[in-house]
Amino acid sequence: MVDDQPANSKLLRVLLEGEGYQVRVAASAEEALGCLCGWRPRLVLMDLQLPGIDGLELTRRLKSDPGTADLVVIAVTAYAMKGDEERARAAGCDGYVTKPIDTRALVRMVGAVLGGE
């Protein structure tokens, strides 16, 4: 999960760990790229509003790199204006969830993506 807001990270971590998922958190794109050097998740929950390199650019980088192109990226964002989902998908996001998060729907989406793990 990449999110610079500690409250959001904590909520999602507690929620997903409660469902049995292993969760790692990065607060910036740079930190996320560092984490990916030694760990390969199957799914990345990506905040689009990050300091420095934003979530759209990070997604583009991940999807253009053969080593990370197969990662599933779900945008989790407060962006909810017309065209925002299309921009996220154009950057390579495989899913799009707006904040405030419907926690039950997010757990179902993660389960569907990960095959009920």
**How does pLDDT run across 43-72, given as a tens digit for each residue?**
999 999 999 999 999 999 999 999 999 999
Please give the tally of structural domains in the chain. Answer: 1
Residue 57 lies in a domain: yes
The domain in which residue 89 lies consists of 6-102
pLDDT of residue 116: 56
Determine how β-strand 72-77 pairs with β-strand 95-98: parallel
The type of residue at 10 is K
Q: What is the distance between the alpha carbons of residues 39 and 93, in angstroms, rounded to a whole number?
A: 20
The list of the chain residues with pLDDT below 70 reads 116-117
Residue 115: count of CB within 10 angstroms of its CB: 7
pLDDT of residue 78: 87
Residue 30 lies in a domain: yes
- Give strand ranges (E) for the chain: 43-46, 72-77, 95-98
Residue 111 lies in a domain: no
pLDDT of residue 82: 86
pTM: 0.92
Q: What is the distance between the alpha carbons of residues 91 and 75, in angstroms, rounded to a whole number?
A: 10
Is residue 13 within 8 A of residue 1, CB to CB? The reply is yes
